[in-house]
Structure 1
Amino acid sequence: MAQQSDPVRRAGRIMWILVWALGLLMLTWYFSRQLDQQINPNRQVQVLSSNSMVLEQNRYGHYLASGEVNQHPVVFLLDTGATQMAVPQAVAARLELPVGAPLTLGTAAGQVTGYRTHIKSLSLGPFTLYDLSAVIMPSQSEEILLGMNALRRFELIQRGSQMTITYSGPEQ
């Protein structure tokens, strides 16, 4: 009798271990999705019309949004304090952006060397912009800073934790 219960007991223990492992895996997946949603609540932007959309602030007070550069998925960080779009080096390499002439950039962290580049197309929600200049800069970030050379084509209205972005037409 004792010999027959050992295999049953062993199978029971294995089943409990599998149940606990599956439970931990599901909890990890759930909380990972929750954190991702808090960092970028605009994975699917809220489109109001063909020329207007709304972004939600993330938990840090920033406006991040998923979009595309040259038809590749990226994450944008809206930065009204940036003159140009700034692409981190690793992201630029992944997007195979052309590396142009070097230039010295003044950032919050001090002077850094960046490189000129060109973006053929940028898509954000219902908007697509073409032929934008940008800079490639050393950064550990995965977000592309969406600077004023792109944002000046829009009217930005912030109310509470939302920003309404409306296309105001091509550059004058």
Structure 2
Amino acid sequence: MDTQRRLGRIMWLIAWGLALALLTWFFQQKLQHDNNPNQSVRQLDAQTIVLAQNKRGHYVATGHINGQEVVFLLDTGATQVAIPQGLAKKLGLKKGHELGLNTAAGVVVGHTTRVKNLSFGPFTLHNLSAVIMPSDSDEILLGMNALRQFELIQRNGELTIRR
């Protein structure tokens, strides 16, 4: 009888552990989708994509820098593509000369760099200047030096990007 009770308790613990693991996975997936609803970009034709706004009202999209997957935050207020320093290191980007950068948080010291290939959806940009920012973010600001090459139309919580 004691063996059956012990086995029953173990089975209940395993069931509860699995249920908690599944709930954790489900909510993590939901949070990821809420932050980046554009993990796979919706393409209308060879030169047009549509991005959905995330829950905070931003346009975020998954893309690549030099073949490595990254997350872009489209920022029309940013002059250049801005890459957080930790992410720049992972991407193998070389620091150029030091420069002062005006940010929403004030003036910070960053570095120039060059990105060989930057892509999102069907679009690829080559030999793009960028700055390495002293930030811990996981998102790269896709600034106007990249965005000016596109037509941007915002309507009803969607951003249409056409080359």
**TM superposition score normalised by structure 1:** 0.94
Q: Which has the larger radius of gyration?
A: 1
Residues of 2 paired with 1:106 and 1:9: CA distance?
66
The counterpart of 1:138, out of the listed 97, 121, 134, is 134
- Within a 5 Å distance, the mapping from 1:104-143 to structure 2 comes to 104-143=100-139
Per the alignment, residue 94 of structure 2 pairs with: 98
Q: List runs of 5+ in structure 2 lacking aligned partners.
A: none
Residues of 1 paired with 2:98 and 2:83: CA distance?
14
Amino acid at match of 2:91: L
CA shift at 1:140, angstroms?
A: 1.5
CA shift at 1:160, angstroms?
A: 1.2
Q: List runs of 5+ in structure 1 lacking aligned partners.
A: 168-172
Runs ≥4 residues deviating over 2 A? none
Per the alignment, residue 55 of structure 1 pairs with: 51
Per the alignment, residue 7 of structure 2 pairs with: 11
**How many residue pairs are counted as aligned between the two chains?**
163
Identical counterparts, % of pairs: 57
Amino acid at match of 1:153: Q
**Deviation string, structure 1 residues 59-111 (Cα, Å, up to 9, x no partner):** 00000000000000000000001111100000100001011000001111001
Q: CA RMSD in A?
A: 0.5
Amino acid at match of 2:10: I
**TM superposition score normalised by structure 2:** 0.99
CA shift at 1:28, angstroms?
A: 0.7
Amino acid at match of 2:34: Q
